[in-house]
Amino acid sequence: MRADMQVEGPIDISIVVNLHGEGLLLHRTLTSVVRATEYARAHGCATEVVLVE
């Protein structure tokens, strides 16, 4: 997944991740987000990921 990828058309799923000092858990969380977006894309869903600090 690249930060500069743009989706044309409507977004089907928004994934919002609140960042507040996760430390070591952040890597696992973001890995899970990537896997979820890849799965959704493979099944025809457009996703967006919003990281909130």
**Domain boundaries along the sequence of the chain:** 21-52
Nearest to 51 by CA among 8, 20, 11, 7: 20
pTM value? 0.76
- Residue 15: count of CB within 10 angstroms of its CB: 14
Residue 33, pLDDT score: 97
Nearest to 3 by CA among 30, 40, 39: 30
Residue 4, pLDDT score: 58
pLDDT in tens, 2-46: 555 666 789 999 999 999 887 888 999 999 999 999 999 999 999
